[in-house]
Amino acid sequence: MNWSILEFVKNIIDILLVWLVLYYILKSLSKNVKMALLFKGIIFIVVLKIISSLLDLVTINYLLDYVIEWGVLAIIIIFQPEIRNVLEQLGRSQLLGRHKTLSVDERERLVFEIVSALDSLRKSRIGALIVVERDNSLQDYISKSQPIYAAISSKLLQSIFFPNNPLHDGGVIIQGDQITCARAVFPTSENIKVSKRLGTRHRAALGIAEITDCVSIVVSEETGRLSMAFNGELRYNLTIDEVKVTLLEELSPNKAIIVEEEGESSENN
């Protein structure tokens, strides 16, 4: 009897672990456009294989056997950077830990300083790219850029992107309420739906937003217009108020974290 109960518990744990792994994989895929498209392609091939087997389609079955046999190796080679990014996102997700959660006052001050800098930069038509880290770590890009590690301030952001400043090329990364680095280089998006009129900054902002959960803000050097990229999408030609509201919403702490912290506070009391 005890042995049967133990086996039952082991099976439940086994199933839960599988579902947990699948959940985090799918969650990571939803934030990575390239991997999401790859996943859809794999599903399509599997469905096509099942249909061809049921209908006994010899030729397509023969071709699909070769695709499946060598496809895994080809995927690993071709999509190695994307696979690595997904695995990094899994390792850096809230399953193992989380980055600093800002208080309401800290978040409002962060948004105020960023928006103040953006307002000045757009009026002067000075190009800028500001990336705010959320749950997924941007350490790979930070390690290859110019370290700063300074408290967030509008004047500092403006001075970094001033055309004669040697740090103005590339992007700035913000962690918590700190400017971590400047001259950060990000992968550019290959999304064919993005307008060809948009430059490298916009494509870099979308590129990093496609593979991580960060929020990117761009100031166009030519027009002074503001754009934001997050959740794998680019929102173009926003007003300063729209940027402010979106930042406040997107940088709000996760509801699960709030519940957890409230529960911890109640226990301590």
Answer yes or no: do 27 and 146 share one domain. Answer: no
Residues 6+ apart with CB under 8 A from 138: 131, 173, 175, 184, 208, 212, 214
Give the residue numbers spanning the domain of 123. 104-253
Contact residues for 225 (Cβ-Cβ < 8 A; gap 6+) = 122, 219, 236, 237, 238
Task: Tell whether 179 and 226 lie within a shared domain.
Answer: yes
Looking at the structure, do residues 183 and 221 belong to the same domain, yes or no? yes
Residue 259 in any domain: the answer is no
**Helix, strand or coil, per DSSP, at residue 226:** strand
**Is residue 19 in a domain?**
yes
> Is 254 strand, coil or helix?
coil
Residue pLDDT tens, the chain, 269 long: 556 777 777 778 888 887 777 776 666 655 556 666 677 777 888 888 888 888 878 888 878 777 777 777 776 676 666 666 656 655 554 443 344 567 888 899 999 999 999 999 999 999 999 999 988 888 889 989 999 999 999 999 999 999 888 898 899 999 999 999 999 999 998 887 777 788 899 999 999 998 888 999 999 999 999 999 998 899 999 999 999 999 999 988 764 444 444 444 444 44
Question: Same structural domain for residues 111 and 198?
Answer: yes
114 within 8 A of 128, measured Cβ to Cβ = no
* CATH code for the domain of 246: 3.40.1700.10
Same domain, 125 and 229: yes
Query: Domain ends where: 64, 91, 118?
Result: 91
How many beta carbons lie within 10 A of that of residue 236, not counting itself? 16
The model carries a pTM of 0.65
Distance CA 10, CA 14 (A): 6
User: Same domain, yes or no, for 38 and 112?
Assistant: no
H or E segment at 219?
strand 215-219
Q: How many domains does the chain have?
A: 2
- Tokens 């991580």: give the residue: 212
Domain identity same for 180 and 66: no
Asked whether residue 267 is assigned to any structural domain, the reply reads no
Whether residues 115 and 234 fall in one domain: yes
Nearest-angstrom CA–CA distance, 264 and 34: 39
Claim to verify: residue 192 and residue 142 sit in the same structural domain = yes
